């Protein structure tokens, strides 16, 4: 599968967020160079506006160098996808069966709380999972799933009361649905 990134503002914001998460960036010039290496050309004015829209700030590291950083709290309105506070991806979820089908990465505490409240049902077919929620809760729940960064989730699409989750594994929908249901049950 080939990764494709369109030349849109949202895609550019995601690229900027990825760079700022992975590497210390001291200036807009450094950031523009990193974007250019990824095939994204941007003017200084646009880059400055993007940083403001993303809520990026300059923080002083312990060595005294100022670097750009994004707000700590992912998942808020307009925030770019990013990790949520919680266990490290190498940890095993509490209660997970070692030989049972569970996602490779653990759910964050926020994902557990989010699944407990709005998840009404989960049904799977091949690599697709349809999650039902109360009216108005689907977009929030999809955002939490996106920010949890489960490797087994390729992406989500949300309506008003339904979330479509696409599993990365072509036959992984049933395992993913079961893991989400177990997560919701544990959090209740």
State the Cα–Cα distance between residues 145 and 167, nearest whole angstrom: 12
State the Cα–Cα distance between residues 103 and 64, nearest whole angstrom: 39
What pLDDT is recorded for position 109?
64
CB atoms inside a 10 Å sphere around CB 141: 25
CA 161 to chain centre: 20
Residues of the chain with CATH 3.30.1360.40: 109-187
CATH 1.10.10.10 for the 9-69 domain, yes or no: yes
10-52 confidence digits (pLDDT tens): 888 888 988 998 899 999 999 999 999 998 999 999 999 999 8
CATH 3.30.1360.40 for the 109-187 domain, yes or no: yes
102-151 confidence digits (pLDDT tens): 443 444 666 777 677 788 899 999 999 999 988 888 888 888 888 787 88
CA 71 to chain centre: 14
DSSP 3-state assignment of 109? helix
């Amino acid at each position: 599968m080939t990764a494709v990134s369109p030349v849109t503002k949202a895609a550019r914001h995601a690229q900027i967020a990825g760079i700022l998460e992975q590497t210390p960036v001291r200036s807009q010039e450094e950031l523009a160079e990193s974007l250019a290496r990824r095939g994204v050309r941007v003017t200084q004015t646009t880059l400055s506006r993007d940083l403001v829209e993303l809520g990026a700030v300059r923080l002083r590291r312990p060595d005294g160098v100022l670097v750009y950083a994004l707000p700590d709290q992912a998942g808020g309105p307009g925030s770019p996808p990013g990790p949520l506070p919680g266990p490290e991806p190498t940890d095993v979820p509490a209660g997970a069966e070692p030989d049972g089908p569970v996602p490779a990465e653990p759910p964050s505490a926020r994902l557990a709380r989010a699944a407990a409240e709005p998840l009404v049902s989960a049904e799977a077919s091949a690599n697709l999972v349809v999650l039902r929620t109360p009216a108005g809760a689907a977009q929030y729940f999809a955002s939490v799933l996106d920010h949890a960064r489960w490797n087994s989730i390729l992406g989500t699409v949300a309506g008003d009361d339904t979330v479509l989750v696409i599993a990365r594994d072509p036959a992984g929908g049933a395992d993913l649905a079961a893991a989400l249901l177990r997560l919701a049950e544990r959090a209740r």
